[in-house]
Structure formats: structure tokens, C-alpha cells
Amino acid sequence: MWIALLVWGCSGGDTPGEGPPGGTTPVTTPSADGPSPLRRLTSSQYRNTMRDLFLGVDLPELSLPIDGEVHGFDNHHEVQVPSALLIEQYQQAALAVTAAAMDQPDGWLPCDPAVDAGACGAQTVTEVGRRIFRRPLTSDEQQVYTALFDEVLTDDGEFSVAIQVTLQALLNSPEFLYFPELGAQPVGGDRVPLSDHELASRMSYFLWDTMPDEQLLSAADAGLLADPVEVEAQAWRMLDDPRAADALASFHRQWLDLDEIARVSPDPATFPEWDPAMADSMRAELDGHILGVLQGPDPTLSALLLDPTTSVDPWLAPIYDVADGTTELPTAERAGLLTRAGWLAATSHPVNPSPVQRGVFVLEHLMCVELQPPPPDINTELQESQGDAVTNRERYAQHSADARCAGCHDAIDPIGFGFENYDAIGRYRTTDNGAPVDATGSFLHGDLLGGEFDGAVQMSQLLADSQLVRDCVALQWYRYAHGRSETEGDLPEVDRVQQAFSDTGGDVRQLMVEVVRGELFRTRRAM
């Protein structure tokens, strides 16, 4: 079942030892058995958590750094290094949030300071502190934070000042910003079960992209999460909660590079009808498609790739050439994710679509084929006029003519050509520059090897039926859930999750629960 990551050397005619290194990038770390490195909140998790901690408060816009990415995901522990800017932005964010929170305390402050300011401070440390730390405070912790509150209250006299400073200390603490996983208790063997509260945090930030709710915290308080049956029940409950939309959005935003849609900038001369508002509509359509499928009756990878259900607004209507309000796209032209305007525009140049970007995307994101960059001494620019080339596709013929390019582009371009029915803003076309579009192509990898298609609707069907693609998507979810790259020690677990994903017909919600059920999700490596 486990299909190893395919790494595709692109050095063309180079012989080993002469050419540049490449083609053999190790993708697993030997001798590691599923490590659990210290991770912290991502920027989206930080914002979501503030929203849920301070219910009913109109929070200010928070400036947080854009984290780097590994394998496309920003929750990877390797990019979560502290920097001076990050620490300062945390401090500033806590200042802004607590000031706003004190303007609207009704939804979150557990007591009335007018009755007894000192007692209310201690109660807030206990109750709000438990939600900030995602576990009850120890008596030592209760004591130090209450002492800070008492000190400021004594000096200043104003409850608001004292509680803001105290909450800021909690919000800047490592127990809030990071996910310390010290384990339930020392036991023998290689792995230690997470404490109930540590597991609750892992679950909620994976399934919700935010903090645990009271029900999950209470289950952890009661020690119920040591039981995998309870863990699974909680996971299903959480997937049915509206907050699951945040996690689904976060994963797909990163996996599918959806932020690129905002940067779409077509050539005004070629596309005079373009309006930046179209990019917003394109993004909203894709977000709606993803959530519609994954929170609907058939939450599968196949449906993501194939379901033509949509919601067309006035901006999208001319692009799809359908009436405003249309709810199903014409199935001869469109299917799911890879035939939607947003993705197609985001993988285009300003004038022409990019078969290379589109092909690379399918290979890397859906098939987990890692490609090497082009050799540096090659001019990667295509000549505008190349002999008799008329269509966009013909311009790329040079790739297969040059042996150094062909090594990769024989795999990339035939996939990219399958999208030639869509122009640079995603409109369907049957001619390109006056000549008929040729959207035939084929695959070179895994169980897709030899698979031929004419157009992206057929291609989407092949991808939806492919074991290679199912395994790849399961692997992407596994990386995201664990916030790290897979190691050799993960392979049996990755294999199990992939098998389960396949057995359920590619059910993404089942997949998420399967990841949570896994032993490596519920334990950490012994220190």
C-alpha cells in the first residue's frame, strides 16, 4: 500500500557523478520513530484562539509574522523559530487584545470586579487561565500569576490595569504560545501517552484550528481521553461542529496554495473584462466548494475533484458563461477543484495559461512527485514566436526537443496540456489563437502510468480513481496533522492511514478521524 514519495531527477542526460546533485533527495529521516518536536500556534491558530478566548469581543486586527513553509505547510516545527519580531508582535497583540477585551467583558470575564476586585482577579486567573493554558493551572502557576495581579492592583488600584497585565503574562507564556508535551506519566518503552489535555490540544488545533471547547476540556479534566473510543467520539463530534470549517479551510488553503488567487493579475489588454473583485469571487467559490463537499453527504476526495456543484455570482457568470445563480457547472466543461476558475487563473501567466505550473502542481500536490528545478544554464523562457507554433501548447514543444528539459517536462507538460481548454482567467475555450485546442495528455507515474485523457474533466476522473493520488492526499494530511515531515518511523502509521482512506473510498472526514485515532497522534517519543 505505501507508495514511497517519488523523487524525479531532472538533470536530463547527466550521468551520475558528473551532473549536479539532484534526483536523490532523501525524504525520510533514518532511525527516527515519529518524533514529537515542540510546536507553537500558527498565526491563524493564534487569531482563532483569541476569538474563542474572548467571546463577544470585537478584536482588533493583529499583526503577526508570516511563518515559513515546509512541504507547503506553515505549522511545521522547523519554521517555528522565535525571532525578535515575533516576540514583540506577541507582546503587542496581547496588549491590543486585552485592551479590547476589557471594553467588552460580559462574554468572558467570570466575575464582577466591583464586588471584590482581588477575588475576581484570582478567579479570572483560575478560570480564564485554564482556557488560556488549555489545562488547569498548577498551584504554583496559580500563585505566580495571582501574585502579579495583586502587585499591580496594589500599586495602581485599578482592576482593569491589573487584569490586563495579568492576562498578558498568561498570553505570552510558553504554555499558551507553544504546545509543551511532557506526557501523562513516565512509563517504560519508546513512547509515552500524551496527557489528556495535551491530546485535547492536538485534536482541537488539528480538527478546528483553535483551542478546545469546554466539552473537550471537561473530558480531559475527567481523564476520559485515555480511552481511544472516547477520542474517536470526540473527533466525530468536533468534525460536526462549525469550527471544523476553520481547519478544513486552513489545510486546503495551504495544500492547494489558495492564497495565490489573490495575486492573480491578468494582462488588461488581453482581458479587458478583468476586475480584481473576480479574484475574490473565485476564492470564495473554491472555499465554498471545499466546505460544501467536505461538510456534505459525500465528503470524499473524488467529490472534491469531480463534483460540479457551485454557486455562481455575477462576477463568475461571464467566466463560466452561465447565468448568475447557477448551481451546477456544465459537466462537459467542468468538474471539481482543477477545473475551477480560481485554480486555473492562479496557475497562469498574465496572457497565457501555464501548462508547466499546472502540471507541476498536479505532480507535486496531488501525486507527491518531487521535482528538481531546471538546470541553471538553461534559458527557461519560451520564445514568443517559435517556428510554426500557433497555440500555447505548440510553444512548449521545445521542452521535449531538448534532452535536458525532457527529463522533467515529459512528465509535467502532458499533464499541463490537459488544461489547455481554459485560458488565463479560467474561461473555457475550444480554440487557441485561432487553432483548435489539443488537450490530450497522459501520466507517467504510479498507477496512473499510461493513463490518457482528453481534457481536464477526464483527467480529474483518472486522478480521482488513482491509488497514488489517494495515498498522496493522505500523506499531506498526515504531515499537516503532525506539523512535521514523516520519518521512517512513521511509515507503518502512514501506511495504515492510507489504507483506511482507501477503504472508505477516500472519505476525508474518516481520514481525519483515522489520523487522530493513530497511536503516534496520541503519544510522544520518550525523552
Q: Is 165 in the site for other proteins (CB under 8 A)?
A: yes
- Choose one: 166-174, 298-306, 427-435, 450-458; the region binding other proteins (CB under 8 A): 166-174
Nearest to 182 by CA among 526, 481, 508: 526
Query: Cβ closer to other proteins: 93 or 508?
Result: 93
> Rounded CA gap, 333 and 317, in Å?
14
Work out how close the CB of 78 gets to other proteins at its nearest, in angstroms, rounded to a whole number. Answer: 7
Query: Cβ closer to other proteins: 52 or 370?
Result: 370
Q: Is 56 in the site for other proteins (CB under 8 A)?
A: no
Applying the rule CB under 8 A, the residues between 90 and 129 that interact with other proteins are 91-92, 95, 98-99, 102
Work out how close the CB of 375 gets to other proteins at its nearest, in angstroms, rounded to a whole number. Answer: 6
Judge residue 275's burial from the number of C-beta atoms within 10 Å of its C-beta, 0-12 exposed, 13-18 middle, 19 or more buried: exposed
Applying the rule CB under 8 A, the residues between 199 and 258 that interact with other proteins are none
Q: Is 277 in the site for other proteins (CB under 8 A)?
A: no
- Choose one: 73-81, 119-127, 199-207, 466-474; the region binding other proteins (CB under 8 A): 73-81
b/e for 52-73, b at 16 or more Cβ within 10 A?
Answer: bbbeebebeebebeebeebbbb
Alpha helix segments (H runs only) across 332-391: 341-346, 355-361
Q: If residue 523 lies in a helix (H) or strand (E), which one and from where to where?
A: strand 523-525
- The residue count for the chain: 527
Q: Is 386 in the site for other proteins (CB under 8 A)?
A: no
Query: Cβ closer to other proteins: 97 or 220?
Result: 97
Query: Cβ closer to other proteins: 219 or 346?
Result: 346
Work out how close the CB of 219 gets to other proteins at its nearest, in angstroms, rounded to a whole number. Answer: 25
Pairing mode of beta strands 523-525, 191-193: antiparallel
- Residue 166 in grid coordinates: 495579568
Q: Is 16 in the site for other proteins (CB under 8 A)?
A: no
- Choose one: 71-79, 294-302, 441-449, 453-461; the region binding other proteins (CB under 8 A): 71-79
Contact 375, 11 (CB under 8 A): yes
Query: Cβ closer to other proteins: 266 or 418?
Result: 266
Contact 508, 239 (CB under 8 A): no
- Choose one: 69-77, 198-206, 468-476, 501-509; the region binding other proteins (CB under 8 A): 69-77
Pick from 1, 13, 25, 228: which binds other proteins (CB under 8 A)? 25
b/e for 195-219, b at 16 or more Cβ within 10 A?
Answer: bbbbbbbbbbbbbbbbbbbeebbeb
Pick from 380, 386, 400, 433: which binds other proteins (CB under 8 A)? 380
